Amino acid sequence: MARAVDKLILNSELAAGALQDNDFSNVIFSFAQTASGSWSVLSKFSDDIWNIPDSYFTTNTAGSFKKLDFRRIPESFRHLMKVCILKYYLFGVFNQGAPRGATIVNFFVGALSFLNYVAKHTVNLKDISPVLFSNYVLDTKSLKGRNSETLSVDSRRLRFTAIETLHHLSQDTTDPMPHPWPDSSASTLSGKNGTAWYLKGKTPVIPDSVLSLLFQKSVEDIENIDWLLDLKDECRAIKSRIPGPGYSTLHTMPYLKSMGYSGGERELNKAIRNAYIASAVIILTTSGVRNHELLSLKTDCYFSTLDDDGGLIHWLRGRSEKTYEGDAEWIVTDITKKATAAASRITMHLRCELERNIKDRLMSDPDCLQTAALEVHQDAIFIGKDPSTGEIRTITGGWLGSLIRQYCEKIGITWDIAPHQFRRTFAVYVVRSAMGDIRYLKTHFKHWTLDMTALYASHEQRDSELLDEVMAAFYEAKNDIFDHALNESTPLSGGLAETVRNYRAAKVQTYSTHSEMVKTVSDTVFIRSTAVAWCTHDLVGCVGGVGVEATRCADCSHSLIDDTKIPIWKGIYSQQQELIHLTDIGASGIERVKRDLDRCVKVLSDLGVTVEGSV
C-alpha cells in the first residue's frame, strides 16, 4: 500500500507541474500494480482512451465502464476535458478528495452531453452565455429516454452536477467556464430539493404478493442444494473417467436415477442455477444490502456473535463503496446464512478453476496486469464465467439484474423487479415489524426471527445509511398513520378517539391545509404499535396488545384504533367466542373472556362492524 501511495504522490507532483506549465507531454494518467509488485502504465495523457485503475471501482464493475473515450468529446474541447479529468482524478473538487471511479465516469458522461450541446454554438467554454446554460436545462428536462419518458430526477441531477464540476475544474485553465447558474444548483434545477423528496422514496417497494411468492420460491430452491451439488460433483467425476469422446448422459443418467433424481444433467444444472439466483434474492431480501455490497461478499462473509442475553446474532461482512465506508457489516437471519453457504458452494468449482488459472499465469508472466486484476475475484461467492470470453469474475450489477428478471419470469412474476428495490423494501418491512406486523412478516419470511429494528438501532455504526433508510420509512409510515386517522371519514375507537375527532373539527381554525395538520401532529406526537392499536405513550413494560392482555388497548387513554385494525379485532373476537364455551377455565376465566368480548364489541362497533354482544 505504501508503494501505491508513493506512486500516486509522485504522479500528482508531476501533474501539478504540468498544469502550471501547460505541458502534458510527460504526464501519465494511471498506473496499475502487477501481481509481482511492479508498476505498469495504464494510460498516458496523450492517449485517446484512458483506463481508470480497477482499484477505483467495486469488483462487480464491468471493464467497459472503466474507460474514458475522449474521441467522443468535440475536438475543440478535447484537450481541456483531459486536463479537467486529470485534475478531478488526482485532486477531486470542493475539498472532497479524489473521487471513486464511478463518480469520474458519471462526470465524464454528463460533461460529454453538455459539451456536444454547446459545441454547436461555441468553441470556448468562457464564451458560453447564460441563455445557453438555460436552454440546456430546459432541453434536458424535456429530453425523452429509451422508454419515451422524460429523464428521471437523478439523471437530470447527474447531468447538471457534471456542469457544476466542469465549471470548478476549468478554473485556472486557459478556458475557464462561467458559473452556469449562480443563483441556483443542480439539485434545485433537477427537482431533487425539498423534504418531500426524501420522505417519499422514488424506488418502488416490491408488492407483498410479489415478494411473498418470490421469497418462498427462493427458499424452496435452496433447501436441497447440498444434495444437488453432491449429485453434480459425482457427475463430474463420472465424466472424468470416460475414456475418449462419448455421450456422458449414458453414464450420468443411470447414476442420477439410482440416487432418486428424476431428471437428467440438464435439469440438474437448471436447478443449481435457480438456487444460485435464489441465494441472491434471499440475501437481498433479508439484509438490505446494495447490489455492489452483495457482490462484494466473499467465502468468509458470514459470522455470528452473542448479544447481552446470550442470543445468537447473524452477520454478513462485505465492502460498501457508496459512502466510502469500506469494510461493512450487516445483521441478517439464519436463512441468510444458508443462502450465502449455498451460493459459496455452487461457485466453488469456478473459484478452483480461477485459482489454477492465476497460478498458471503467474508462472508464465508474473508482471501480467490481467493476472493482478483476476486476483480480486478469487474468493467472491457471486462469480460467473463469461460465455463469450470464458473469463471468470464477479458478476456485474447488470448481470445480477438479468438473472433475477429471468428467475421471476420462470415463476410467473410480472412485476418489473430490479435488485435495488430490495433495499427500500427491506426498510419498509423492518418498519412494519416495528409497527406491530411481525406476524405478517413471519407469514412471508418463515425464517425471520430477529427484531431487526432494535438490532440496527443498537448497532447503527454497522450500516448507518441503512438505518437512515429504515428511519425514513418509519417517518413515512408514521405520517401515513396520522393522515389516515385525521381523515374525517376514518372510523375510530380507543381512549384517544374522541380527542382526535375534536381535533379534526378544529383544523379549519388552526391549519390552512390537511397536510399541514398531519405534518404537525406527526412531528410532535410519539406513536408505536401494539399490534391491536396505535399507542401514543411510551410506557415501559406495558403489555397491552399482547398475550392475555390483547384487548387492554381498547380502554387505554393513550390508544387510537382505526379501521386498519379491524381484521385483528375480528380475530380476537372469534377466539373469545370459542373460549366462552370452555368448561375448564373456571369462573375467573369466564369473567375475563366476557370482559374481552365486551371490549371487542365496543371497538368493532365504533369501527362500523356489526357484531353480537357479549354473553
Give the pLDDT of residue 613.
59
Compute the average pLDDT of residues 315-323.
Answer: 79
At 508, the pLDDT band (50, 70, 90 cuts) reads: low
Give the pLDDT of residue 51.
92
Q: How far apart are CA 41 and CA 29, in angstroms?
A: 8
Backbone angles phi, psi at 598, to 5 degrees: -60, -45
C-alpha cell at 248: 456422458
Instruction: Give the chain's length.
Output: 615
pLDDT at 118 over 50: yes
Q: How far apart are CA 156 and CA 140, in angstroms?
A: 7
Instruction: Calculate the CA dihedral of residues 271, 274, 276, 282 and round it to 10 degrees.
Output: -130
> Exposed, middle or buried by CB within 10 Å (0-12, 13-18, 19+), for 387?
exposed
Q: Evaluate whether 215 touches 281 at the Cβ level (below 8 Å).
A: yes
Helix/strand/coil for 150: strand
Q: Which of 85-94's residues contact partners 24+ apart within 8 Å by CB, and which partners?
A: 85/50, 86/15, 86/19, 86/24, 86/27, 86/29, 86/45, 87/15, 87/19, 87/169, 88/165, 88/169, 89/29, 89/30, 89/52, 90/8, 90/11, 90/12, 90/15, 91/12, 93/165, 93/168, 93/169, 94/168
Compute the average pLDDT of residues 515-525.
Answer: 69
Q: Which of 7-21, 83-97, 186-200 has the highest mean pLDDT?
A: 83-97
pLDDT at 193 over 80: no
pLDDT at 231 over 80: yes
Give the pLDDT of residue 383.
94
Compute the average pLDDT of residues 492-499.
Answer: 86
The rounded percent of the chain whose pLDDT value lies above 90 is 34
Longest dimension (CA), the chain: 98
What pTM did the predictor assign?
Answer: 0.65
> Exposed, middle or buried by CB within 10 Å (0-12, 13-18, 19+), for 12?
middle
* Amino acid found at 106: N
Q: How far apart are CA 207 and CA 425, in angstroms?
A: 9
| Candidate from 184-193, 244-253, 374-383, 536-545 with smallest mean pLDDT | 536-545
Among the listed residues 419, 408, 420, 375, the one whose alpha carbon sits nearest the alpha carbon of residue 394: 375
Q: How far apart are CA 94 and CA 480, in angstroms?
A: 39
Backbone angles phi, psi at 238, to 5 degrees: -60, -45
As beta bridge partners, residue 534 has 529, 560
The number of angstroms, rounded, from the C-alpha of 492 to the middle of its chain's C-alpha atoms is 37
Q: How far apart are CA 431 and CA 478, in angstroms?
A: 10
23-80 pLDDT, tens digit each: 777 788 888 877 677 778 888 899 999 999 888 888 888 888 899 999 999 999 999 9
CB atoms within 10 A of CB 233: 13
Give the pLDDT of residue 425.
85
pLDDT at 200 over 70: no
| b/e 260-278 (16+ beta carbons within 10 angstroms → b) | ebeeebeebeebbebbbbb
As beta bridge partners, residue 392 has 385
Give the pLDDT of residue 13.
63
Q: Which of 89-93, 412-416, 583-587 has the highest mean pLDDT?
A: 412-416
Compute the average pLDDT of residues 449-460.
Answer: 41
Listing DSSP states for 261-307 in one string gives --S-HHHHHHHHHHHHHHHHHHHHHHH---HHHHTT-BTT-EEEEE-
394-450 pLDDT, tens digit each: 998 889 999 999 999 999 999 989 888 898 888 777 766 554 443 333 333 333 333
DSSP type of residue 564 = G
CB atoms within 10 A of CB 542: 17
Residue corresponding to grid cell 427484531 = 451
Among the listed residues 203, 89, 112, 93, the one whose alpha carbon sits nearest the alpha carbon of residue 159: 112
C-alpha cell at 310: 446470550
Give the pLDDT of residue 530.
75
Instruction: Calculate the CA dihedral of residues 340, 343, 345, 347 and round it to 10 degrees.
Output: -140
Output the average pLDDT for the chain: 81
| Candidate from 101-110, 275-284, 432-441, 565-574 with smallest mean pLDDT | 432-441
121-175 pLDDT, tens digit each: 999 999 999 999 999 999 998 887 767 788 888 888 899 999 999 999 999 888 9
Q: Evaluate whether 375 touches 172 at the Cβ level (below 8 Å).
A: no
Give the pLDDT of residue 479.
75
Residues 6+ apart with CB under 8 A from 540: none
Alpha-carbon radius of gyration of the chain = 30
Give 549 or 385, the one with higher predicted confidence. 385
235-264 pLDDT, tens digit each: 989 888 877 666 677 788 999 999 999 888
Give 335 or 365, the one with higher predicted confidence. 335
Handedness of CA 543, 545, 549, 554 (dihedral sign): positive
Q: Which helix (H) or strand (E) holds 332?
A: strand 326-332
Helix/strand/coil for 49: strand
At 213, the pLDDT band (50, 70, 90 cuts) reads: very high
| Candidate from 327-331, 421-425, 445-449, 600-604 with smallest mean pLDDT | 445-449
pLDDT at 203 over 80: no
> Exposed, middle or buried by CB within 10 Å (0-12, 13-18, 19+), for 95?
exposed
